[in-house]
């Protein structure tokens, strides 16, 4: 397992001058561009305390979700030679890809912590909720990763389709804009059906500011607020079962 994770890291940054530093530079460069355009020029987020850190945290969490699913998508096909030569549990290959993305997330959260100190963000007891929120994102991404990795073995077009879905999801998820700017409550509720939207907002509430709009506020604590968590469970179960049903035929189809 550890050898697979190390190999993933080496292959990902092979031939790059800056190497592993790109795992930190990519979200930071994206943050700088979006901050200049949306905050400085378009004046979005002026009403949100510590909006630069608010924005950075959203970018970091979305990048983790994107990196984990994209890397895992092609992991089985990329390890075709290994699968043919060695009989190992197929899920380990996907899991190792997810661990490398998880390591990058840890490094990026350190950068977020530095920005929090620079911006004088008060650390509240709610920060203890962050590991639970990160676990939710990880499980959601893992379920999708297992499904996509198995599907990609048969249908290579899945990679292009998933890129389009991620691009649309980035703008539909309240990353660049505060959800409070959407006055239509029904639309807010629809956005919160996306587990990533719910998790990112909860993470911002836990770490940055209690003025963040959360799913519990929008649904006023009703059982509807449990829908994103139910979706995560369904995705994990479905992704696992589909991956398991296809695993035995991977060596033949790669």
Q: Which residue has the higher pLDDT, 65 or 49?
A: 65
Least confident among 1-15, 39-53, 154-168, 221-235 = 1-15
Q: Which residue has the higher pLDDT, 252 or 96?
A: 96
What is the Cβ-side half-sphere exposure of residue 48, based on CA atoms within 13 angstroms? 25
The owner of tokens 């994770």 is 5
Q: What percent of the chain has pLDDT over 70?
A: 87
- pLDDT value of residue 233: 97
DSSP 122: P
pLDDT over threshold 90, residue 6: no
- How do residues 78-95 score in pLDDT, each as one tens digit? 877 777 777 777 888 888
- pLDDT value of residue 29: 79
DSSP 222: -
Tell me the helix, strand and coil percentages in the chain, rounded to 5: 80, 0, 20
Task: Report the domain count for the chain.
Answer: 1
Domain interval for residue 56 = 2-253
Q: Which residue has the higher pLDDT, 37 or 227?
A: 227
- How do residues 189-221 score in pLDDT, each as one tens digit? 999 999 999 999 999 999 999 999 999 999 887
- pLDDT value of residue 5: 52
- How do residues 132-151 score in pLDDT, each as one tens digit? 999 999 999 999 999 999 99
pLDDT over threshold 60, residue 4: no
- How do residues 93-105 score in pLDDT, each as one tens digit? 888 888 888 888 9
- pLDDT value of residue 181: 85
- How do residues 15-44 score in pLDDT, each as one tens digit? 555 556 666 677 777 788 877 877 777 677
Task: Tell me how crowded residue 92 is: count the other CB atoms within 10 A of its CB.
Answer: 13
Cβ neighbours of residue 62 under 8 Å, at least 6 residues apart? 170, 173, 175, 196, 200
Rounded Cα distance, 70 and 172, in Å? 19
């Amino acid at each position: 397992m550890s050898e697979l994770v190390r190999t993933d890291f080496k292959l990902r940054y092979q031939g790059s001058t800056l190497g592993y530093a790109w795992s930190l530079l990519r979200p930071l460069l994206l943050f700088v561009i979006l901050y200049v355009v949306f905050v400085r020029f378009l004046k979005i987020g002026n009403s949100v305390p510590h909006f630069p850190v608010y924005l950075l945290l959203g970018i970091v969490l979305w990048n983790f979700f994107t990196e984990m699913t994209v890397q895992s998508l092609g992991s089985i096909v990329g390890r075709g030679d290994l699968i043919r030569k060695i009989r190992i549990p197929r899920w380990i290959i996907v899991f190792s890809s997810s661990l490398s993305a998880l390591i990058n997330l840890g490094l990026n959260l350190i950068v977020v912590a530095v920005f929090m100190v620079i911006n004088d963000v008060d650390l509240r007891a709610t920060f203890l909720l962050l590991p639970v929120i990160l676990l939710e994102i990880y499980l959601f991404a893992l379920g999708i990763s297992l499904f996509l990795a198995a599907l990609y073995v048969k249908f290579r077009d899945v990679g292009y389709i998933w890129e389009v879905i991620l691009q649309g999801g980035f703008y539909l998820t309240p990353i660049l804009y505060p959800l409070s700017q959407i006055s239509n409550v029904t639309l807010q509720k629809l956005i919160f059906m996306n587990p990533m939207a719910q998790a990112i907002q909860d993470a911002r509430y836990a770490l940055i500011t209690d003025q963040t709009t959360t799913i519990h506020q929008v649904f006023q604590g009703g059982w509807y607020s449990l829908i994103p968590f139910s979706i995560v469970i369904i995705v994990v179960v479905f992704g696992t079962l589909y991956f398991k049903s296809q695993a035995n035929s991977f060596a033949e189809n790669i």
